[in-house]
C-alpha cells in the first residue's frame, strides 16, 4: 500500500509499505478516505519531537472504511465509514474511566506522560499513522465513531482533532459570560478555539498571530478581533492596554514552534535545548489578568521549557492543559456541526493526493499559497 | 457589560456552564473507580519486534506500534536512552541524537536497496519554487555563496 514515509527532518515521501495486519483482538484495519496534516505534525516534520524514527508514517486525523476486524470487535463491521479520534484509548484504565481519553495508560509503552497517538513518534507509542491507504486502529471498540449519514466527510475528518482540540481549549479556560479571551495562534486550532470561545459565552475574542492571511481568515470565521504581533512593539503591553487589567483567559494554540522572541527561537527551535519555543505560552502567562486562566493546547516537547513561572505564582493564574479528549467531546460537537453552529470543513483550503505528500508538507510548513488546512486523499479513497 | 452584538454570534453561550470550574474533568472521579495500577487490563498484544518501554512503567502497554524497531547505531542510542526516566536529559538527548543518526542511516539503507533518494523532491523544494520563488532562490544563492567561500578558503589554506 502507499503511505507517507518520514526520512528525517523536513524530508518525507510517499512510498509502498506492507499492509497493516490485525495484531490484537480489539484492532480493526481501516481503508483511509481522508487524512489531514495537523499543525502538530510539523513538529515531527521539523525534527522537534524526540524518538521520531525514519520509516514511520504520520497522520492522526483521518476517516476511513473498516476493512477487517479483530475477534473482539462487535461494535463495527466491514464497510462502516468511521472517523477515528487521534488518541488511542483502551476505555478501561484509570484515566479512561475518568474521561481522560487523551491520557490512556494502555496504548503507549514509550512514555507515561502521554497516551497513544496515531503516527506521532515512538514517544506516543510508535503507532503508524493515517497518511496512508490503510492503517491499523487499536482499541477500535472505544475510539472510532460511525460517521452519521448527515455529517459530510470533510466535516467528519475535522472532528478527529481540530474541532475537539479547539473546543477543549475554550472549555478548559472555564470561560464565564462576558469574559475577554485572547487566543495566541491563528492556525486551524487557534481559529477553532476562537470560534468555540463564543459558545461558552465570551464577551470579546482577540486572536494574535504573525500571518495576515490567517488573521483575515480568523476575523471572518470566528468572528473576532485580530492583531499581527509584528505591528506591536510588545504584545503583552498591547493586550494589557487593550483590556485594562489583562485578559480573563489566554489560550496558547501555538506550541513548540512559536516565533516572536529571538532567544526562545534560538534555544527552542534552532538548538532544540528546550521542549520548543515557548513564546506563546510566555505571552499568555504575562497577558492574562491576575487570577485568570491560561489554557494550553499547543504541543510542546517533553524536555524542560522556559516560562515565567514566578508570574504564574504571583498572579494566581490557573494553567490548564491537555491533549483533547476527543471521544468525550464528540457527541456534543457532532450536534454543533449538525446544527451549523460550527462549520469545520471551511478551514480546509488545500487538497493533495497522497503521492504529493512532500509538497503538501512543505506548503503547510512554509505557510505558502494561503494554506490553512491541507487534506490528503489516498488513491484507494473512493 | 456584554455588548449585545456578541450575543448574535451563532451559538453564543450555548455551552456556557458556571460549574465549568478549573478542576474539570477531574470531578468525574468516582471513589469506586480503581486507584493506582489496579484496573482489569485489556488482552496484551504480543510483540514480534523489539519494543522499548519507559522505565517508569513495569512493562509494555496493552497495545503498541511496531513501526521502525531500533537498529544500527541509532538503535544502540535508543536502548541507552530507555535506561533513564522521562525526567532525565539522558533519556531525551540521546533520542534526539538517534533521530539525526537514523536519518543518515536511512540514506545508506536506501542506497543499499538500490534506491537513490530524491532529496530535492522529499524536501518539497518544488513547492517552494512554485509559490515562494524569489525568497527560495535568494536562500539557495546565499547558502551556495557561503559554502563556496568556505570551500575556497579551505582550498587556499591547504594550498599554502
From the list A191, A180, A193, A202, the residue with the least C-alpha distance to A251 is A193
Give the residue-averaged pLDDT of A355-381.
97
Contact A126 B67 (CB under 8 A): yes
- Is B124 touching A (CB cutoff 8 A)? yes
Q: Lowest mean pLDDT of A151-155, B15-19, B69-73, name the range.
A: B15-19
Asked if A341 is an interface residue toward chain B (Cβ–Cβ < 8 A), one would say yes
Cα–Cα distances (Å) from A128 to A77, A154, B30, B142, in that order, read 22, 22, 34, 38
pLDDT at site B19? 73
The span from the CA of A223 to the CA of A232, in Å, is 21
Q: For chain B, give me the number of helices (H) and strands (E)?
A: 5, 0
Residues of A in contact with B56 (CB under 8 A): 112
Q: What percent of chain B has pLDDT over 90?
A: 73
Q: What is the pLDDT of residue A57?
A: 98
CA atoms within 13 A on the CB side of A23: 21
- Mean pLDDT score, A271-290: 92
| Rounded mean pLDDT, A344-353 | 98
- Report the share of chain A in percent with pLDDT over 70: 100
Q: Has residue A275 got a pLDDT over 90?
A: no
The answer to whether the beta carbons of residues B82 and B94 sit under 8 Å apart is no
In the predicted model, what is the mean pLDDT of residues B2-6? 71
pLDDT at residue B23, as a whole number: 45
Q: Provide the mean pLDDT of chain A.
A: 95
Output the furthest CA–CA distance in chain B (Å, rounded). Answer: 81
Size of interface A-B (CB pairs under 8 A): 254
Residue A54: which of A124, A6, A123, A17 has the closest Cα? A6
Q: A278: phi > 0 → left, psi -120 to 50 → alpha, else beta; which?
A: alpha
State yes or no: pLDDT of A144 exceeds 50: yes
Testing the interface with A: which of B18, B36, B63 to mutate, by most A Cβ within 10 A? B63
Count of alpha carbons within 13 angstroms of residue A252, beta-carbon side: 31
User: Contact A317/A293 with Cβ under 8 angstroms?
Assistant: yes
**A156: Cα separation from own chain's centroid:** 15
Q: Hey, are the CB atoms on B123 and A51 less than 8 Å from each other?
A: no
- pLDDT category at A357 given cuts 50, 70, 90 is very high
Q: Which pLDDT value is given to residue B1?
A: 44
Which of B65, B117, B130 to mutate against chain A (most A CBs within 10 Å)?
B65
Q: Dump pLDDT digits (tens) for A208-234.
A: 999 999 999 999 999 999 999 999 999
Least confident of A260-264, A349-353, B35-39, B150-154: B35-39
pTM across the whole model:
0.93
pLDDT of amino acid B128: 94
Question: What confidence category does residue B35 fall into, taking pLDDT thresholds of 50, 70 and 90?
Answer: confident
Residue B159's pLDDT is what? 83
Report whether pLDDT(B21) > 80. no
pLDDT band at A302 (very low <50, low <70, confident <90, very high): confident
What is the ipTM score, two decimals? Answer: 0.91
Residue closest to A7 by CA, chosen among A66, A47, A63: A47
More confident residue, A67 or B37: A67
Q: Is residue B28 pLDDT above 90, yes or no?
A: no
Arithmetic mean of pLDDT, A15-41: 97
Of A26, A99, A177, the CB nearest to B25: A99
**Mean pLDDT, to the nearest integer, of B77-96?**
96
Higher-confidence residue of A305 and B98: namely B98
Residue closest to A195 by CA, chosen among A211, A179, A207: A207
Q: Hunting for cell 480503581 — which residue is that? A: B34
Q: How far apart, in whole angstroms, are the C-alpha atoms of residue A6 and residue A26? A: 27
Q: What percent of chain B has pLDDT over 70?
A: 91
Q: How far is CA A335 from CA A325, A353, B4, in A?
A: 17, 30, 25
pLDDT of residue A379 exceeding 70: yes
CA distance A340 to chain B (A): 9
Are B25 and A325 within 8 A, CB to CB? yes
Q: Residue B27 — very low, low, confident or very high, per pLDDT cuts 50/70/90?
A: low
Which of B52, B67, B131 is closest, CB to CB, to A55? B67
pLDDT of residue B29: 67
Query: Hey, is the C-beta of B113 within 8 angstroms of any chain A C-beta?
Result: no
More confident position, B109 or B22: B109
Question: Among all residues of chain A, which has the CA nearest to that of B77?
Answer: A51
Rounded alpha-carbon distances, angstroms, from residue B110 to A359, B102, B103: 21, 12, 11
- CB within 8 Å: A54 and B68: yes
Residues A230, A231, A233, A236: what is their CA dihedral angle, to the nearest 10 degrees? Answer: -80
- Which residue(s) pair with A288 in the sheet? A247
For chain A positions 141-170, those within 8 Å of chain B (CB to CB) are: none
Shortest CB distance from A10 goes to which of B100, B123, B132? Answer: B123
Instruction: Select from A216, A311, A244, A271 the least CA-distant residue to A48.
Output: A271
Amino acid at each position: 500500500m502507499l503511505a507517507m514515509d518520514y526520512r528525517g527532518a523536513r524530508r518525507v515521501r510517499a512510498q509502498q509499505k506492507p499492509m497493516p495486519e490485525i495484531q490484537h483482538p480489539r484492532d480493526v484495519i481501516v481503508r483511509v478516505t481522508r487524512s489531514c496534516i495537523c499543525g502538530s505534525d510539523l513538529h515531527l516534520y521539523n525534527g522537534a519531537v524526540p524518538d521520531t524514527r525514519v520509516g514511520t508514517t504520520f497522520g492522526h486525523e483521518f476517516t476511513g472504511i473498516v476493512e477487517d476486524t479483530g475477534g473482539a470487535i462487535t461494535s463495527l463491521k466491514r464497510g462502516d465509514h468511521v472517523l477515528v479520534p487521534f488518541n488511542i484509548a483502551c476505555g478501561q484504565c484509570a484515566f479512561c474511566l475518568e474521561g481522560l481519553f487523551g491520557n490512556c495508560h494502555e496504548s503507549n509503552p514509550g512514555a507515561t506522560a502521554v497516551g497513544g497517538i496515531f503516527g506521532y513518534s515512538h514517544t506516543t507509542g510508535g503507532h503508524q499513522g493515517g497518511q496512508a491507504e490503510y492503517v491499523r486502529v487499536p482499541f477500535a471498540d472505544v475510539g472510532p465513531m460511525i460517521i452519521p449519514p448527515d455529517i459530510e466527510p470533510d466535516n467528519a475528518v475535522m472532528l478527529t482533532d481540530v474541532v475537539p482540540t479547539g473546543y477543549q481549549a475554550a472549555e478548559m479556560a472555564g470561560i464565564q459570560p462576558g469574559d475577554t479571551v485572547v487566543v495566541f495562534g491563528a492556525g486551524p486550532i487557534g481559529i477553532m478555539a476562537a470560534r468555540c470561545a463564543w459558545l461558552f459565552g465570551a464577551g470579546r475574542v482577540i486572536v494574535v498571530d504573525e500571518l495576515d492571511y490567517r488573521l483575515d481568515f480568523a476575523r471572518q470565521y470566528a468572528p473576532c478581533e485580530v492583531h499581527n504581533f509584528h505591528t506591536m512593539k510588545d504584545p503583552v503591553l498591547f493586550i494589557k492596554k487593550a483590556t485594562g487589567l489583562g485578559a480573563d483567559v489566554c489560550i496558547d494554540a501555538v506550541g513548540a514552534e512559536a516565533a516572536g522572541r529571538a532567544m526562545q527561537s534560538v534555544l527552542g527551535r534552532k538548538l532544540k535545548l528546550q521542549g520548543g519555543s515557548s513564546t506563546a505560552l510566555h505571552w499568555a502567562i504575562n497577558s492574562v489578568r491576575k487570577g485568570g486562566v491560561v489554557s494550553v493546547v499547543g504541543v510542546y516537547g517533553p524536555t524542560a521549557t522556559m516560562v515565567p513561572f514566578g508570574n504564574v505564582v504571583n498572579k494566581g493564574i490557573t494553567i490548564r492543559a491537555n491533549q483533547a479528549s476527543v471521544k468525550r467531546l464528540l457527541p456534543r460537537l457532532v450536534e454543533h456541526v449538525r446544527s451549523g453552529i460550527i462549520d469545520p470543513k471551511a478551514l480546509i483550503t488545500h487538497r493533495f493526493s497522497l503521492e504529493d505528500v512532500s509538497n503538501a508538507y512543505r506548503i503547510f510548513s512554509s505557510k505558502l499559497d494561503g494554506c490553512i488546512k491541507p487534506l490528503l486523499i489516498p488513491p484507494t479513497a473512493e | 457589560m456584554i455588548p449585545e452584538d456578541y450575543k448574535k454570534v451563532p451559538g453564543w453561550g450555548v455551552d456556557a456552564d458556571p460549574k465549568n470550574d478549573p478542576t474539570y474533568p477531574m470531578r468525574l472521579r468516582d471513589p469506586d473507580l480503581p486507584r493506582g495500577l489496579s484496573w482489569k487490563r485489556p488482552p496484551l498484544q504480543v510483540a514480534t519486534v523489539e519494543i522499548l518501554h519507559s522505565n517508569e512503567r513495569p512493562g509494555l502497554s496493552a497495545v503498541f506500534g511496531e513501526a521502525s524497531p531500533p537498529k544500527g547505531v541509532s538503535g544502540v542510542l535508543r536502548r541507552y536512552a530507555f535506561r533513564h526516566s522521562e525526567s532525565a536529559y539522558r533519556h531525551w538527548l540521546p533520542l534526539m541524537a538517534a533521530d539525526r543518526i537514523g536519518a543518515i542511516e536511512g540514506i545508506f539503507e536506501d542506497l543499499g536497496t538500490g534506491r537513490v533518494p530524491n532529496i530535492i523532491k522529499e524536501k518539497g523544494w518544488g513547492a517552494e519554487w512554485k509559490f515562494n520563488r524569489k525568497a527560495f532562490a535568494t536562500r539557495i544563492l546565499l547558502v551556495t555563496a557561503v559554502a563556496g567561500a568556505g570551500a575556497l578558503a579551505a582550498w587556499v589554506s591547504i594550498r599554502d
